A and B are shown apart, each in its own frame.
Chain A
């Protein structure tokens, strides 16, 4: 009887475990075998690490870091205001308004920015007609338009995650710091930042790798000259039909992302705050 029950327990528990294995590890494993190629050698990796591709890798990581940083920079004051200054009854409205882009297809969101930023787009039309600008701004298909698109699409995730942390931030801790002589900047560094770091870390985990590995936004809004990793992977699959190389490049990218996250977690301060998690 007891053993039958235990067997049933094990059966029930093995379901999710197998699912996790199937979804998480198995595809990666297949990908890894693929990346080694028919000869099971490191040739694909050697190519993926060649200077030609290294540039795209560092550029992708750089874009990921920069855009994540901008998102956090925007989300901090916005969520602080929403959680601690905004009258309670407008809070939900504010939160929904800020996260509205989550509900739309992100390809559409990207094209919305093409329309906004184009030579004859809304921004230029208004600014030129108002006499603010002599001639239209050329921002579309630059790093600026790409960054705008990225921030627009990923900010809602960061805002939602940070908001949870901000809401839990105890106002009285700020009063205590002030009473003990802290300036506004010290209150931020000594109380707000450490108390919300878990939220910032969670937000980073969610958006950073997706930004660094993004395909649509750089394609639609970015400059053709700035190559990010995703385009190379897609090229390898579609144009060169070189699955092994595509897989190897993906793996190198994965390692680069994990390594950069590890570097972030190495800051003693970050480590300390995260340990309380």
Chain B
């Protein structure tokens, strides 16, 4: 039986659909992410699942039981809120114990379980502190412990890492993953950060304008997106329109604005001749290719460089790792005398490109 089964969930605010016909199934012990741009209805969906907001339509089942009409306190879900919202007038231990106290767990057992939960999130001994005296990452863990200690069937997490810096975010992502495995809880993780969703999740659903447009394992979604939106949202693919001019099994040769590209097809696009092709920046190699273009923009991104290349009016993004032991910015600007050694992208320079991988995607809103 699935831990969470949602069918046809919908909610409108003042006539505007915030969530429309969302269906989801989460297996027990799964780490499932719901990602989508800001305002697409992620928080609204979670609030309905938690019982904090009444849906207009649809059913919610937890562990097979229909809970659609139950208030939040009678649902086996707990939520880690977008801004944590720890109780500022309670200590860390009191925060974590709150849910247990409400469900009538006697005090001695409460204390042991709170201590265990704090240990699980590496905060053993922090129980007597005030939440205000903790760092952002520690507060994060308290919020997680406060929800997890109740042993929910499904833990709902609403962008809990959005306010942390990059390094801490990475660390917390690994922590979340570890805690999820250790506690064997089903996680429904909401974020607009595709990177964290991809790295943590067993499965991902992509949401857009209130509906789910695609779902699957991160690898599948990334390497074989079905729609233009998913391709662009997950990892900045460039999508070009084109005509199929030849086919070879799974592969189609597509004539695009930029030139000819071979693309793998996965979906029903096959029978139409007008198609869209998604190309990932890292699937483009510089030099000895069929496509030519001019560098119109170049950016230094740390361990790689990124350029935008204009190929017959289509703009392709190209990434190149900086060679190991390669020039730093200062070196590059001083050894500019030897163009063959200068690996930087130069704006205005003509380059040739080869597209190694491309995928046919559905166009439009779907």
Contacts and interface: CB of A to CB of B under 8 A. Distances in A.
A179 B77 CA distance: 8
A175 interface: yes
B78 A175 contact: no
Contacts of B146: 180
A195 B85 CA distance: 13
Contacts of A191: 87
B352 to A, nearest CB: 55
Contacts of A175: 47, 52, 81, 85
A interface, over-half SS: helix
Interface stretch (B98-106, B255-263, B317-325): B98-106
B89 A178 contact: no
Interface in A226-255: none
A170 interface: yes
Nearest to B143: A176
A229 B153 CA distance: 62
Contacts of B87: 173, 176-177, 190-191
B67 interface: no
Nearest to B75: A179
A176 B103 contact: no
A178 B52 contact: yes
A180 B83 contact: no
B98 A178 contact: no
A180 B85 contact: no
A271 to B, nearest CB: 12
A121 to B, nearest CB: 46
B128 to A, nearest CB: 14
Interface residues of B, number: 23
Nearest to B150: A180
A179 B72 contact: yes
Interface stretch (A6-14, A39-47, A155-163, A181-189): A181-189
Given A172-B85, A175-B81, A181 B50 contact: no
A255 to B, nearest CB: 32
A172 B150 contact: no
B71 interface: yes
Contacts of A176: 79, 81, 85, 87
B219 interface: no
Given A172-B83, A175-B52, A180 B99 contact: yes
Contacts of A173: 85, 87
Contact of A172 (B51, B72, B81): B81
A128 B153 CA distance: 62
A276 interface: yes
Contacts of B77: 179
Contacts of B150: 180-181
A170 B85 contact: yes
A59 to B, nearest CB: 36
Contacts of B52: 175, 178-179
A133 to B, nearest CB: 43
A276 B81 CA distance: 24
A51 B71 CA distance: 57
A272 B78 CA distance: 28
A132 to B, nearest CB: 39
A175 B84 CA distance: 11
B341 interface: no
B95 to A, nearest CB: 9
A107 B52 CA distance: 49
A273 interface: yes
A98 to B, nearest CB: 27
A191 B147 CA distance: 17
A194 interface: yes
A273 B77 CA distance: 30
B73 interface: yes
B72 A178 contact: yes
A193 B35 CA distance: 37
21 contacts: A172-B81, A177-B98, A178-B71, A178-B73, A179-B51, A179-B52, A179-B72, A179-B73, A179-B147, A180-B98, A181-B73, A181-B99, A181-B102, A182-B73, A182-B98, A182-B102, A191-B87, A195-B89, A272-B89, A273-B89, A276-B89
Interface of B: 47, 50-52, 71-73, 77-79, 81, 83, 85, 87-89, 98-99, 102-103, 146-147, 150
Given A175-B85, A178-B71, A180-B73, 17 more contacts: A170-B85, A172-B85, A175-B47, A176-B79, A176-B87, A178-B52, A179-B51, A179-B52, A179-B72, A179-B78, A179-B79, A180-B78, A180-B99, A180-B147, A182-B98, A191-B87, A276-B88
